[in-house]
Chain A
Amino acid sequence: GENVEQHPSTLSVQEGDSAVIKCTYSDSASNYFPWYKQELGKGPQLIIDIRSNVGEKKDQRIAVTLNKTAKHFSLHITETQPEDSAVYFCAPRKKSGGGADGLTFGKGTHLIIQP
Chain B
Amino acid sequence: DTEVTQTPKHLVMGMTNKKSLKCEQHMGHRAMYWYKQKAKKPPELMFVYSYEKLSINESVPSRFSPECPNSSLLNLHLHALQPEDSALYLCASSQPFRGTSGRHNEQFFGPGTRLTVL
Interface segment out of the listed A58-66, A69-77, A100-108: A100-108
Q: Are A97 and B43 in contact (CB under 8 A)?
A: no
A107 — nearest CB in chain B belongs to which residue?
A: B42
Give CA–CA (A100, B4) in the complex, Å.
17
The answer to the question of A41 belonging to the interface, with a C-beta cut-off of 8 Å to chain B, is yes
Q: How many A-B residue pairs have CB under 8 A?
A: 77
Interface set, chain A 62-115, CB cutoff 8 A to B:
89, 93, 95-108
Q: Are A43 and B112 in contact (CB under 8 A)?
A: yes
A42 surroundings in chain B (CB, below 8 A)? 109, 111-112
Contact residue range for chain A? 20 to 34
Q: Are B43 and A105 in contact (CB under 8 A)?
A: yes
Q: Are A43 and B96 in contact (CB under 8 A)?
A: no
Interface set, chain B 54-68, CB cutoff 8 A to A:
55-56, 58
Q: Are B48 and A100 in contact (CB under 8 A)?
A: yes
Chain B residues in the interface with A (C-beta under 8 A): 4, 31, 33, 35, 40-45, 48-50, 55-56, 58, 90, 92, 94, 96-100, 102, 104, 106-107, 109-112
Closest 6 CB pairs of A and B: A43-B109, A102-B45, A100-B31, A105-B42, A100-B96, A32-B104
Known: A49-B104, A98-B100, A105-B42; 6 extra A-B contacts, CB below 8 A, are A34-B104, A43-B92, A43-B111, A46-B107, A100-B33, A108-B40
